[in-house]
Amino acid sequence: MTSNTVAAEPTLLIGLVSVSDRASGGVYADQGIPALQAWLASALTTPFRVETRLIADERAQIEATLTELADSARCHLILTTGGTGPARRDVTPEATLAVGTKEMPGFGEQMRQISLHFVPTAILSRQTAVIRESAGHAALILNLPGQPKAIAETLGGLKDADGKPLVGGIFAAIPYCIDLIGGPYMETDAAVCPAFRPKSAIRPQGAA
């Protein structure tokens, strides 16, 4: 006897990693993870869970954390904040590239384009993105800026006074990327950040 039961979509799991010597050492409160959580809560209409990690600017620790979130926690998306500048202690991009199996340079290029609307020093940012594939699971890992305002601008993009988009945010491309690597179907609030997919990849609203 066959069953027509359709397997439920797995819960979207997002890893949030704040890389900061001083915040992880208790010198001041971390602002990166709360900013990421707040933006995701406003943008995603798909239910999701988060795994959070606050760590120091140590390459071995960053690599181990990203690997653990991707391979053990089985996160579909991992967002890091901090450690992407040219300073000696900024090693988040090196750690990210080391654990990735496929580089996604377009994300970093677009993040710098957004930031250049505000400061010329945006060209000093080394933010990048990779896909990590291991044991039948894949995760998209992205490096984001460290400041809460910059996090929101990078993810959601820029709009003029009338609400017309000026520069697209990177999150618009993330749901389709997660589709392509075998993750759960993500839906967003179009007023915050409309997700872009080819028409053939769009599911009816509310479909499993």
Give tens-digit pLDDT for 42-52.
999 999 999 99
Helices (DSSP H) in the chain: which residue ranges? 21-24, 32-43, 59-67, 92-99, 105-115, 148-156, 174-180
The pLDDT of residue 2: 52
The pLDDT of residue 8: 73
Assess whether pLDDT exceeds 90 at residue 168. Answer: no
Q: What is the mean pLDDT of residues 46-71?
A: 98
Neighbours of 52 (CB within 10 A): 16
The pLDDT of residue 33: 97
Give tens-digit pLDDT for 122-149.
999 999 999 999 999 999 999 999 899 9
pTM for the whole thing?
0.93
Q: Which residues are registered as beta bridge partners of 43?
A: none
Mean pLDDT across the chain: 93
Give tens-digit pLDDT for 73-129.
999 999 999 999 999 999 999 999 999 999 999 999 999 999 998 899 999 999 999
Could you give the domains of the chain? 12-199 (3.40.980.10)
Assess whether pLDDT exceeds 70 at residue 208. Answer: no
